[in-house]
Amino acid sequence: MVNLVEGEKSREIIRRSREFMDILTQDVDVLPMVADRGEGVYVWDVDGKKYIDFSSGFAVVSLGHSNPKVIEAIEKQARKLVHFPLADFYHELGASVAEKLSKSCPGGGNKKVVFTNSGAEANEVAIKLARSSTKRGRILAFYGGFHGRTMGSLSLTASKSVQQLGFFPTMPGVIHAPFPNPFRNVWNIDGYEDPEELINRAISFIEDVIFKAYPPEEFAAVFIEPIQGEGGYVVPPRGFFHELFKIARKYGILIMDDEVQMGIGRTGKMWAIENYSVYPDSIQFGKAIANGIPLGGVIHRGDFGFVTLGQHSSTFGGNLIALSVAEVVLEETPKLLPNVERVGMHLGRRLSELMEEFEIIGDSRGIGLARAIEIVKPGKGKTPDPKKRDELLRECFKRGLLLIGCGESSVRIIPPLNVEIATVDRAVDILMEALNTVTE
């Protein structure tokens, strides 16, 4: 076990973690990373080895590790007031962050914000909002989608069966539709060559199969991810959401846009849904909003919401330290969007070159700095090769590049939003070396 671990300190912490912690999702034989400190795009392990971190703490530290402005905000707020519950009282930070988030949303109009502690909880709130304001019970979601692991959000999640293992029954009333994945879909359509056909199939499945079996007027909401994150960084064909939104509007179904992973600048727009020029009824956020301090929430259209005092609340939702960092994130992120677009294009080009060179890369996809490559068996087919993917992650790790998987056999490449081209080039060079090793 853990023969990848070179250092004594790392080995000992891994041993104790595995003895006393019960929710480890990472196989220790793939990425035995024991972090000590971070700075910008780099992290060091407890034995002093330095890594380029292109996982950004699962798309959380978008301004980089130990960002000085973030540290300053935390320190300043901690000296003033750590916690004061916004459920019952008021604070300038709550008003200010909510106002900024509300104004950041596409589509204009009056928006309101509910603060939560995590992405899963944001989706729980979105479920409650949709059900209580439409007085309907059913919800539509997509295969491959990930929305969290609490019972309500888990019922929307259909990414990996292990995430459901042993927890049935989850919340009733959720129906899943196939997501139009251009590379790999249930209809075996090459969606890069024929996006229209792929969109038609996905939409008619909803209209002609799901809505024939279940009354569309009983659906409260459809939950979407603008790019499926945990499902493999899957970007649907551009026109898909336009068509989906049309049928949702036709039946009065709310569109709840889960931007927990793709929001806050990751795709080069503040919100990933802006890439498709459509306007959802809510945006769920989390992860990068406070650069590592737990915070999430829902921004929803102001003409629906919680109407009765005490109908929803949270002790920590909108914690003051988290909100003070969110102020920094909301100030800094718009300035970084041009960098995300420029460096993201460069990263995309370099990954496409790798795909030309290595047969085991079946697909390279993404927008901005939300990128992934999918590892398949050699032969230009599409058979996923999760073992090879893990081998690749390990080889990158050995060489000091931290990457994480997604989907069945993909590798996500998600550096902080302020990453420089030179660092991207160094990381891709390491990835190339690792690809050479695993294909030898």
- Which positions lie near ligand PLP, rule CB under 6 A? 118-120, 123, 146-148, 225, 229-230, 258, 260-261, 286
Measuring CA to CA, which residue among 313, 315, 318, 308 is closest to residue 286?
318
Q: How far is the CB of 284 from ligand PLP (least distance, A)?
A: 7
Q: How far is the CB of 319 from ligand PLP (least distance, A)?
A: 14
Q: Are 417 and 63 in contact (CB under 8 A)?
A: yes
The smaller minimum CB distance to ligand PLP, of residues 216 and 232, is found at 232
| Close Cβ partners of 184 (under 8 Å, ≥ 6 residues apart) | 363, 374, 382
Q: What angle do CA 25, 22, 128 make, to 5 degrees?
A: 75
Q: How far apart are CA 397 and CA 383, in angstroms?
A: 24
The smaller minimum CB distance to ligand PLP, of residues 57 and 119, is found at 119
Residue type, 401: L
Residue type, 247: I
Provide φ and ψ at 410, rounded to 5°.
-105, 160
Q: How far is the CB of 288 from ligand PLP (least distance, A)?
A: 11
Sheet of 296-301, strands arranged across = 111-116, 296-301, 282-285, 254-258, 219-224, 138-142, 174-177
Q: How far apart are CA 117 and CA 127, in angstroms?
A: 16
The smaller minimum CB distance to ligand PLP, of residues 260 and 396, is found at 260
Residue type, 160: K
Q: How far is the CB of 174 from ligand PLP (least distance, A)?
A: 15
Q: Give 166's DSSP letter.
A: T
CA 408 to chain centre: 16
Pairing of strands 111-116, 138-142: unpaired
Q: How far is the CB of 149 from ligand PLP (least distance, A)?
A: 7
Q: How far is the CB of 295 from ligand PLP (least distance, A)?
A: 9
| Close Cβ partners of 230 (under 8 Å, ≥ 6 residues apart) | 146, 159, 160, 261, 406, 407
Q: How far apart are CA 313 and CA 391, in angstroms?
A: 45
Q: How far is the CB of 231 from ligand PLP (least distance, A)?
A: 9
Q: How far is the CB of 119 from ligand PLP (least distance, A)?
A: 2
The smaller minimum CB distance to ligand PLP, of residues 290 and 328, is found at 290
The smaller minimum CB distance to ligand PLP, of residues 158 and 430, is found at 158
Q: Which helix (H) or strand (E) segment is 313 a member of?
A: none
Residue type, 154: L
The smaller minimum CB distance to ligand PLP, of residues 203 and 406, is found at 406
The smaller minimum CB distance to ligand PLP, of residues 216 and 231, is found at 231
The smaller minimum CB distance to ligand PLP, of residues 119 and 152, is found at 119
The smaller minimum CB distance to ligand PLP, of residues 144 and 237, is found at 144
The smaller minimum CB distance to ligand PLP, of residues 295 and 360, is found at 295
The smaller minimum CB distance to ligand PLP, of residues 295 and 431, is found at 295
Helices 421-438 and 320-357, axial angle in degrees (round to 10): 50
Residue nearest to ligand PLP (CB): 119
| Close Cβ partners of 40 (under 8 Å, ≥ 6 residues apart) | 64, 65, 66, 67, 416, 418
Q: How far is the CB of 433 from ligand PLP (least distance, A)?
A: 29
Terminal Cα-to-Cα distance of the chain (whole angstroms): 24
Q: How far is the CB of 123 from ligand PLP (least distance, A)?
A: 6
Q: How far is the CB of 134 from ligand PLP (least distance, A)?
A: 21
